[in-house]
Amino acid sequence: MRILLLALRRLAASLPTLLLILVGLFLLLQLAPGDTVDALVAQMGGGDPAMIEQLRSFYGLDAPVLVQLGRYLLRLVTLDLGFSAIYGKPVADVILERLPVTLLLMATALSFAFAAGMGLGVVAARRVNRWPDSLISTLGLVFYATPSFWFGMMGIVVFAVRLSWLPAGGFEEIGSGNEGLTRVLDIAWHLVLPVATLALTYLATYLRIMRASMLEVMTLDFVRTARAKGLGETAVVLRHVLRNALLPGVTLMGLQAGTMLGGSVVVESVFALPGLGRLAYESVVQRDVNTLLGIVFVSALLVIAINFIVDMLYAKLDPRIVTGS
Amino acid sequence: MGFLKRYARNPAAVIGLLLVLAVIAMAVSASWIFPRDPLSLAGRPLQWPLDNPRFWLGTDNTGRDIAAQIFHGARTSLLIGLVATVVAIGIGIVIGAVAGYYGGWVDDLLMRITEAFQTLPNFLLLLVLVAVFGSNITFVTVAIGIVSWPPSARLTRAEFLTLRNREFVQACRVLGMRDRQIIFREILPNALPPIIVYASVIMAVAILLESALAFLNLSDPNIPSWGNLIGAGKGVLRVHWYVSAIPGLVILLTVLGVSLVGQGLNDALNPRLKGR
Amino acid sequence: MSLLAIEGLTVALPKGADRPHALESVSFSLKAGEILCVVGESGSGKSLTAGAVMGLLPDGVVATAGAIRYLGRDLLPLPAAEMRRLRGRDIGMVFQEPMTALNPLRSIGSQIAEMFRTHTRLSGREIDARVLALLEQVRIPDPAAAARAYPHELSGGQRQRAMIAMALALEPKLLICDEPTTALDVTTQAQILALIRDLQRRTGTAVLFITHDFGVVADIADRVAVMRRGILVEQGPAAEVLNNPQHPYTRALVAAVPPLTPPGRPSVTGAPFLEIDRVSKTYRKGGLLRRSRRVTHAVKEVSLSLPRGGTLGIVGESGSGKSTLARCILRLLDPETGEIRLDGQDRLALSKEALRREARRVQMVFQDPFASLNPRRRVGELVAQGPIIHGTPRAEAMERARELFSLVGLDPAALDRFPHEFSGGQRQRIGLARALALRPDVLVADEPVSALDVSVQAQVLKLLVQLREQLGLSMVFITHDLRVAAQLCDQLAVMRQGEVVEHGPAAAIFADPQHEYTRALMAAVPGKGWTPPVAFGSEEAA
């Protein structure tokens, strides 16, 4: 209960941040050459000035910037993200259609990266400066240095083209009429490569931080106390080191939520997944300002939500947070 | 000094340095070895590496020499990496130093702004910036710097928070030293080592960000870039995978080199923590 | 047969250390039911001795010769698993810093229970009952709540009690205490020492007690072993070593303990030069909501004064507000109310710019010899910095730094070295030179000797006394150590929780303390019943 209250307080504290983001972005987009109407007109292959003027006033683009900003923020309160001229439907609908794919991709990749990274980090730290450590650390460095989109493409070449084990892209078999468990398995099969691709960099990061933090905690006084109690090395690690060493990784998970969402833009492009990232890319190319702003808004909400969960997790792990000290 | 010796004794750090030096050598020698415009048509498209002695890394799907693009691309990657890192570290140091030293409402305000930047997915913000200001290479570079500064600001702030309460800083205040001098002449040199090490991380990420942007065709199309080449190879991936594979491998080695140098610096600066 | 016999123990340090051996053929023994104090300064190898007995030496440090016999059996060649069974069950250990020695993420109860879980097959309920009984035995208030609490929720003294409960859980035959009271306040220290002695008498446990403090030795030891740079220089019954030390090093250490009686210097009188007038400073914590805000009164309505040339000692335990008050005088902190007048001028009313110009008049010496000097500047520059800021030409300032170096007893040729090339005591001298460079009217010293080894502490105290006479300094001296205060101060103020409970001439307070808290502090000073047989500062270690 106190943990929840604490996390809620942190959540409230992120509201001004959100406002700052929206105002900043809205003003930034005002600087953009060309607006939705320009994009629309270009798509239609030109139009007469009177019609352009009419369109502008229809979309409210003729009002002063501050009024437009005010209207935009007001609409956001009611979760009305505006209308996408390109897709011809409300931005909220467009985003909602694409959101599940990205959520699934991110959640799976994050869990996998966290679990595998932590596990490998522990193994490396327990065998520090011996071959398992060297192997894992080198692998971590290489993973970290690999551009994720390239890793994805090479994955396609090897596993889809050469070996035909996995599909080269897409979210599921289109028109196969799969339902229930078959559909779940089909989607899972399609997501193997994208998840691996997205998780790669983060796996490397968690691995490094877990290894470093394990080694750091091993030098602390209470570990000496645990040994003085007569505990074996495994018991020392399991009961005293692990939980303490987990904390920096958990913090990092919250900090990196945003980066991961950014990474999904590229991964979704490589694997032609109909997700939020792909949508962001398309709206940049098509200059669909409303949609882009909507995506940024939703991503910010998503990051804040992830941080909310991470805060609760952290408070659960560390009693010092709750009682404040 | 013991610093160089400690660095040289670390094989991984030396390998990293060699990789980085190799990329620098490529960048420097590019216009000398490949004097022609690397983006112009050079020969028959899609020749496999080593098939034609003129194009030892082959040609891409529009008949451009891959080796030439790799060499000229080294220039782009290094320049973007360096400039973006300087921009990011510069912003980060100033914001982090001021926030950490003064604390209170200044800190609150600056950290809110930092948080805002961190809440926004950085690649998404980069897309927005590119959408607004265009794909000009100068701007792309600055934009990468702008989306990369928050962690360095946090790091600087954390260093300043611990250092500002150190007694030597209080001693400076007792002597009547001015804030600006305390921040930049007394505290900053002590806070710098971890920030310099972190610069290697920013540089690695900057190179990766640019290549991703170029891969999506959103970077400057008139500049030879490794990412661009990977993107170009996407259409012929199934058969002519080497068009994408070669530049990707080069990016990997470059980023690996930069990271290893950063780690080597870290180990050499903190000999006590070696192996972490 | 003795319980523990260490025979010719030699412990090697890794290559590149400042000396090849941490310990060199150390031999001593410990009988059941006996308290043996191992005394030494930093680097003496006293803690490593404890580590060697536990089989917990740091990486790269190994015992190369000798034997550690526990009940006749040599522990050194014992396999790891066997050694583990002894640890905790037969040999318990209490560490210096109870905050870091306890796992911050687990409750006190579960950490004590772990002793039983590791070494016995007791049921969960049985263990819970034992844990409660143990916490009661070490006299923690509300044992049930303490068992549920996490380390950060207890006070330092309570944490150390919990550590002791844990070490004694399985009634070990040998208890090793490594500086168990060094991190604690004097009054808490006295309680913990009493507790250890009491438990030791009741259970008959033998105690190997590591300390640097001869006062503590006087209070607790049956026998004493004195160590210096890995060599045991003298050992014997406590009364013998304390009152009739033989080895020159032991004599120097004993001579470095300041006696609890002021040396009888005539009290400085005169018109108040520095006046602290109803000064209050509060700390606010917490966010925008009023409910979550917490206010701590660090300094509450404090009024004190100091005549020109006098020394005002401010003593108190941690949290008494003494350091906050010092920082208010320097205006490193701004108090909410009150005035601090120097020669009639209110320093609290000065603007930031005016304060910078006036900085010269009040200077400070800090506690930590490592943190108080910027590691990236040459020491000469550090000393010259003040005058340069205030407009002295560089060459002249460096010349002055040279003079100051010889004044504080350092070699002026060392001016262009870096701080890390100096020892702790030398660094404190550099800090002193830096403060004196501006020719201050008032010198505020915040625990300037508490981070130093006893013998160095005595030297720095002597220097301070000498400089005070030589330069006619007025001094505010902050300390937690009544012995140090007795040597240096002619006026004394005792602080507790932000308030001055008693102040007046030092001699009068030491002779006849009025306030009960002052009396409690005096009673808690370790070794108060023991008068060092060698005059203070009369002999120094070679």
* C152–A320 C-beta distance less than 8 A: yes
At residue C531, the pLDDT reads 85
Considering the domain boundaries, does residue B56 fall inside one? Answer: no
Give me chain B's average pLDDT, please: 85
Contact C279, C339 (CB under 8 A): yes
Compute the nearest-CA separation of B8 from chain C (Å): 19
At residue A186, the pLDDT reads 81
Question: B186 to chain C: which residues are within 8 Å by CB?
Answer: 374
Q: Is the CB of residue A2 less than 8 Å away from at least one CB of chain C?
A: no
What pLDDT digit, counting tens, does each position of A204-217 carry? 999 989 998 999 89
pLDDT band at B18 (very low <50, low <70, confident <90, very high): very high
At residue C285, the pLDDT reads 65
pLDDT band at A323 (very low <50, low <70, confident <90, very high): low
Closest of B138, B182, B233 to residue A270, by C-alpha: B233
Interface size B-C, in CB pairs within 8 Å, comes to: 57
- For residues B36 and A113, give the distance between their C-alpha atoms in angstroms, rounded to a whole number: 44
Q: What is the mean pLDDT of residues B40-52?
A: 72
- The residue assigned the tokens 């020969």 is B43
Considering the domain boundaries, does residue B59 fall inside one? Answer: no
Closest of C472, C312, C110 to residue A240, by C-alpha: C110
- Can you tell me whether residue C223 is helix, strand or coil? strand
Of A57-61, A310-314, B104-108, C120-124, minimum mean pLDDT range = A57-61
Of B145 and A29, the structure prediction assigns the larger pLDDT to B145
What pLDDT digit, counting tens, does each position of B191-200 carry? 988 898 889 9
What pLDDT digit, counting tens, does each position of C334-367 carry? 999 999 999 888 988 889 889 888 888 999 999 9
Residue B95: phi, psi to the nearest 5? -65, -45
At residue B95, the pLDDT reads 94
pLDDT band at C542 (very low <50, low <70, confident <90, very high): low
* A227–C56 C-beta distance less than 8 A: yes
Residue in B112, B238, B254 closest to A20 by CB: B112
At residue C58, the pLDDT reads 87
Q: Which of B117, B120, B157 to mutate to test the interface with A (most CBs of A within 10 A)?
A: B120
Q: Is the CB of residue A301 less than 8 Å away from at least one CB of chain B?
A: no
Q: Is the CB of residue C363 less than 8 Å away from at least one CB of chain B?
A: yes
At residue A76, the pLDDT reads 79
Question: A323 to chain C: which residues are within 8 Å by CB?
Answer: 150, 152-153
Residue in A230, A240, A319 closest to C85 by CB: A230
At residue C286, the pLDDT reads 54
C-alpha radius of gyration, chain C, whole number:
25
What pLDDT digit, counting tens, does each position of C207-235 carry? 999 999 999 999 999 999 999 999 999 99
Q: Is the CB of residue B189 less than 8 Å away from at least one CB of chain C?
A: yes
Give me chain C's average pLDDT, please: 90
Question: C87 to chain A: which residues are within 8 Å by CB?
Answer: 227-230
For chain A positions 191-230, those within 8 Å of chain B (CB to CB) are: 211-212, 215-216
What pLDDT digit, counting tens, does each position of C82-128 carry? 999 999 999 999 998 888 999 999 999 999 999 999 999 999 999 99
Q: What is the mean pLDDT of residues C307-314?
A: 92
C-alpha radius of gyration, chain A, whole number:
24
Q: DSSP code of A257?
A: H
Considering the domain boundaries, does residue B47 fall inside one? Answer: no
Residue in B121, B132, B211 closest to A31 by CB: B132
Q: Please list, in sequence order, all residues whose beta carbon lies within 8 angstroms of the beta carbon of residue A231, skipping any fewer than 6 positions away.
A: A239, A240, C84, C88, C114, C118
What pLDDT digit, counting tens, does each position of C241-300 carry? 999 999 999 999 999 999 888 887 777 788 889 999 999 998 876 544 445 556 788 899
Contact C211, C221 (CB under 8 A): no
Interface size A-C, in CB pairs within 8 Å, comes to: 75
What pLDDT digit, counting tens, does each position of C375-417 carry? 989 999 999 999 999 989 999 999 999 999 999 989 998 898 9
- Does the pLDDT value for residue A259 go beyond 70? yes
At residue A85, the pLDDT reads 74
* A14–B127 C-beta distance less than 8 A: no
Helices then strands, counting H and E runs in chain C, come out as 20, 20
CA atoms within 13 A on the CB side of A228: 33
Token pair belonging to C36? 């043996």
Token pair belonging to A285? 């190319």
* B186–C360 C-beta distance less than 8 A: no
- Does the pLDDT value for residue C30 go beyond 70? yes
At residue C114, the pLDDT reads 93
- Does the pLDDT value for residue B79 go beyond 50? yes
Q: A272-286: buried (b, 16+ CB within 10 Å) or exposed (e) per residue? A: ebebbbbbbbbbbeb
CA atoms within 13 A on the CB side of B261: 19
C-alpha of C476 from chain center: 20
At residue A35, the pLDDT reads 64
CATH of the domain at B24: 1.10.3720.10
CA atoms within 13 A on the CB side of C289: 6
- For residues A283 and C348, give the distance between their C-alpha atoms in angstroms, rounded to a whole number: 60
At residue A1, the pLDDT reads 67
B16: containing domain: 3-30+68-269
Closest of B178, C211, B131, B223 to residue A31, by C-alpha: B131
Considering the domain boundaries, does residue B35 fall inside one? Answer: no
Q: Which run of H or of E encompasses C281? A: strand C272-285
Q: Is the CB of residue C332 less than 8 Å away from at least one CB of chain B?
A: yes
Q: What is the mean pLDDT of residues B123-139?
A: 85
- For residues C292 and C373, give the distance between their C-alpha atoms in angstroms, rounded to a whole number: 37
Task: Kindly report the pTM of this predicted structure.
Answer: 0.85
pLDDT band at B1 (very low <50, low <70, confident <90, very high): low
Contact C172, C91 (CB under 8 A): yes
Question: A231 to chain C: which residues are within 8 Å by CB?
Answer: 84, 88, 114, 118
- For residues B19 and B253, give the distance between their C-alpha atoms in angstroms, rounded to a whole number: 7
- C337 C-beta neighbours (distance < 10 Å), count: 12
Closest chain B residue to the Cα of A269, Cα to Cα: B216
Closest chain A residue to the Cα of C102, Cα to Cα: A222
Q: Is the CB of residue B124 less than 8 Å away from at least one CB of chain A?
A: yes
Q: Is C504 left (phi over 0), alpha (psi -120 to 50) or beta?
A: left
Compute the nearest-CA separation of C386 from chain B (Å): 5
Residue A123: phi, psi to the nearest 5? -60, -45
Class of the domain covering A92-322:
mainly alpha
The structural domain count of chain B equals 1
At residue C494, the pLDDT reads 95
- For residues A207 and A119, give the distance between their C-alpha atoms in angstroms, rounded to a whole number: 8
Residue in B167, B176, B177 closest to C366 by CB: B167
Q: Please list, in sequence order, all residues whose beta carbon lies within 8 angstroms of the beta carbon of residue C308, skipping any fewer than 6 positions away.
A: C268, C270, C271, C273, C472, C474
- Does the pLDDT value for residue B50 go beyond 50? yes
* B167–C372 C-beta distance less than 8 A: yes
Delineate the domains of chain C, giving CATH numbers in brackets: 2-255 (3.40.50.300), 272-282+294-524 (3.40.50.300)
User: Which ranges of chain B does DSSP label H, i.e. alpha helix?
Assistant: 2-8, 11-33, 66-102, 104-119, 122-133, 137-164, 167-175, 179-181, 188-215, 226-233, 242-269
- Does the pLDDT value for residue C10 go beyond 90? yes
- pLDDT over 70 for what percent of chain C? 98
Q: Please list, in sequence order, all residues whose beta carbon lies within 8 angstroms of the beta carbon of residue B17, skipping any fewer than 6 positions away.
A: B257, B260, B261, B264
Q: Is the CB of residue C376 less than 8 Å away from at least one CB of chain B?
A: yes
pLDDT band at C479 (very low <50, low <70, confident <90, very high): very high
- Can you tell me whether residue A78 is helix, strand or coil? coil
Query: Interface partners of C (3+ CB pairs, < 8 Å)?
Result: A, B
- A36 C-beta neighbours (distance < 10 Å), count: 22
pLDDT band at B276 (very low <50, low <70, confident <90, very high): very low
* C153–A240 C-beta distance less than 8 A: no
At residue B274, the pLDDT reads 43
Query: ipTM > 0.95?
Result: no
Of B41 and B171, the structure prediction assigns the larger pLDDT to B171
CA angle A167, A170, A173 (to 5 degrees): 75
- For residues C483 and C487, give the distance between their C-alpha atoms in angstroms, rounded to a whole number: 7
- The residue assigned the tokens 């259609």 is A97
Q: What is the mean pLDDT of residues A21-30?
A: 80
Query: Interface partners of A (3+ CB pairs, < 8 Å)?
Result: B, C
Q: Is the CB of residue B212 less than 8 Å away from at least one CB of chain A?
A: yes
- Can you tell me whether residue A7 is helix, strand or coil? helix
Query: Interface partners of B (3+ CB pairs, < 8 Å)?
Result: A, C
Maximum average pLDDT range among A37-41, A196-200, C289-293: A196-200
- For residues B207 and B226, give the distance between their C-alpha atoms in angstroms, rounded to a whole number: 10
Compute the nearest-CA separation of B276 from chain A (Å): 5
Question: C389 to chain B: which residues are within 8 Å by CB?
Answer: 175-177
- For residues C397 and A211, give the distance between their C-alpha atoms in angstroms, rounded to a whole number: 50
